[in-house]
Amino acid sequence: MNFISASYNMYHNGIDITIFDGYILRIDCNKAETGLKTTP
């Protein structure tokens, strides 16, 4: 069974995803939103 935890990191404006094996993946919200198009 895998344990995965995700939380918003307000100091880095990103999402930290921690996996039980000790790996940490950080998603940078500024880069993820680059080129994002929204319509009214």
- Give the per-residue pLDDT at 1: 59
| pLDDT value, residue 30 | 79
Residue 37 has, within 13 A of its CA and on its CB side, a CA count of 1
pLDDT of residue 17: 85
pLDDT digits (tens, 9 = 90+) for 19-38: 877 777 888 887 877 887 88
Q: How many other C-beta atoms can be found within 10 angstroms of the C-beta atom of residue 13?
A: 13
Average pLDDT, the chain: 82
Q: Which of 36, 6, 35 is nearest to 20 (CA)?
A: 6
pTM of the model: 0.55
Across the range 5-12, mean pLDDT stands at 87
